[in-house]
Structure 1
Amino acid sequence: MAKVTIWNEYLHELKDEEVKAVYPEGIHVALAEGLKQDGREIGTATLAEPEHGLTQEVLDQTDVLIWWGHMGHDQVEDEIVNRVHQRVLDGMGLIVLHSGHCAKIFNKLMGTQTCRLKWREAGEKERLWVVDPTHPITEGISEYIELEQEEMYGEHFDVPTPDELIFISWFTGGEVFRSGLTYKRGKGKIFYFRPGHETYPTYYNKEVLKVISNAIEWAKPLEARELIYGNTEPLEKL
């Protein structure tokens, strides 16, 4: 089974009573509890820990890193971002959740795009439509996932054209959003999954957890040959 590290900045839960009421031990703990039923080895890390809990040793032992951040993006040290970036290029999977679209690591992996979007916090219904029912990330999910209350994200989402589009969301206010996107960078696989605002109990939803669980299996590294670059001797006689 994949070894998973769940990173959460863990700031809202300590400062906001409304968030603390939903996630009393933190979003990272709720996710770990919801995902451990699949028998995985799961660790957690937070912003306040030394090296944000993402030491080289931790990352070297991580097959898939899950990332949730919001109000502390600028507090993540560039040295740690570069460390995570290299691990993704080397094959570690990365799952970026909700407001992680503004995380330094996601922006670095996406390139020149701003990763900006429209948003509105009004407790709207979100319906996440499966647009690729053959993809392993959607295994066990019906035509759509319906969340009674979520923060709205709307297009245009300023990210590179994804390798694969898995989900599209519709909100009560009328907006739509590309809510499940995959990318490959180096040897690593990346999945961005939209739902998960801190004031709503989204990460207790069994279908949301199923998608994240499926994404872990999809994103975990494969045994791949060492890639060769640079000046190379010919295979045939010149």
Structure 2
Amino acid sequence: MSDIRVTVWGENVHERTNAVVRGIYPEGMHSTIAAALNAAGGITARTATLDQPDHGLPPGSLEETDVLLWWGHCAHGEVQDAVVDRVCNAVWSGMGAIFLHSAHFSKPFKRLMGTPCNLTWREAGERERLWLTSRNHPIAAGLPDHFELEHEEMYGEPFGIPDPMETVFVSWFQGGEVFRSGVTYKRGAGKVFYFRPGHETYPTYHDAHVQRVIANAVRWAHNPAPRVADPCDAPNVPVDTALEPITERGPRLHGQDDRGFR
């Protein structure tokens, strides 16, 4: 069985402009996430970044990607609409997608959700406790009932997303807020998972529990079936041939007349 092919997409802006972030992720958050996935077994991960041509996702690249991970924050508006179209079409066709932390406000996620995806937030280095709310879910495999991140950015409800298919994690923060921090969706033929932790100035993606969640989510989101050829075309294709009326009748039931009534 071949490995699941993963592309880890990152803005790679904070790593180049912020010394704190660069000290935590010298090769970039995207490289840290990809390295953990490559070490998880059965997964081959590559990276792509905003500053590359076509943001590292040229035409045809997503056909070679089984699951796409997306981390964005300060440069959502710089993502080309053609690339957004490419990502959404790939998800509708069957590619898995995992959106991390502030990618809740990315163009692809908002397009797939069809809602504002807004929330409340506070950046104060608080403790986050993630509670497992669906023990038997594949994304939760091998995890305890809860785990903690000593320092994280707070995200709080209300979270402007559609009702999820499943809520796998709920977070609690020191300020008392709670948040749906791990939610799943089906969009077309593709599976989508949003996972909340991952503020750039904290070592979240070095955490073993976070790495396990992401690897589990990749395996869950992978769809081995062939891609849908053109997911946007089918609803509007005219039928050229008219249907022939059905003239033959089946056996008449006892007491049934020619109109089919008794």
TM-score by length of 2: 0.86
| TM superposition shift of 1:222 | 3.0
Pick from 90, 105, 112 the counterpart of residue 108 of structure 2: 105
- Higher relative contact order, chain-length normalized (CA < 8 Å, sep 6+): 1
Amino acid at match of 2:86: R
| 2:258 aligned residue | none
Q: Secondary structure at the match of 1:84?
A: helix
CA distance in 2 between counterparts of 1:156 and 1:104 reads: 20
| 2:250 aligned residue | none
**What stretches of structure 2 of length at least 5 have no aligned partner?**
248-262
Pick from 171, 180, 183 the counterpart of residue 181 of structure 1: 183
Pick from 210, 213, 224 the counterpart of residue 211 of structure 1: 213
**What stretches of structure 1 of length at least 5 have no aligned partner?**
none
CA distance in 1 between counterparts of 2:62 and 2:108 reads: 14
| 2:94 aligned residue | 91
Instruction: Give the 5 Å matches for 1:57-206.
Output: 57-111=60-114, 113-206=115-208
CA distance in 2 between counterparts of 1:8 and 1:233 reads: 50
Which digits, 9 at most, give the CA deviation of each residue in 1:4-45, with x for residues without a partner?
A: 000001000000111111111100011011111123211100
CA distance in 2 between counterparts of 1:209 and 1:201 reads: 12
Which digits, 9 at most, give the CA deviation of each residue in 1:53-107, with x for residues without a partner?
A: 0012211100000000000100000010001100000000000000000000000
The two structures, once aligned, show a CA RMSD in angstroms of 1.9
Which digits, 9 at most, give the CA deviation of each residue in 1:84-136, with x for residues without a partner?
A: 1000000000000000000000000011x211101011110000000000110
- 1:12 and 2:19 matched: no
Structure-2 change in CA distance of 1:29 and 1:225 (3 Å): closer
CA distance in 2 between counterparts of 1:48 and 1:10 reads: 8
Q: Identify which range, 184-193 or 216-225, moves more after superposition.
A: 216-225
Sequence identity percentage: 52
Q: Contact 2:165–2:183 at 8 Å: present in 1 too? A: yes
| 2:4 aligned residue | 2
Amino acid at match of 2:77: D
Amino acid at match of 2:111: K
- Structure 1 stretches of 4+ with a deviation exceeding 2 A read 224-234
Q: Secondary structure at the match of 1:18?
A: helix
CA distance in 1 between counterparts of 2:153 and 2:222 reads: 29
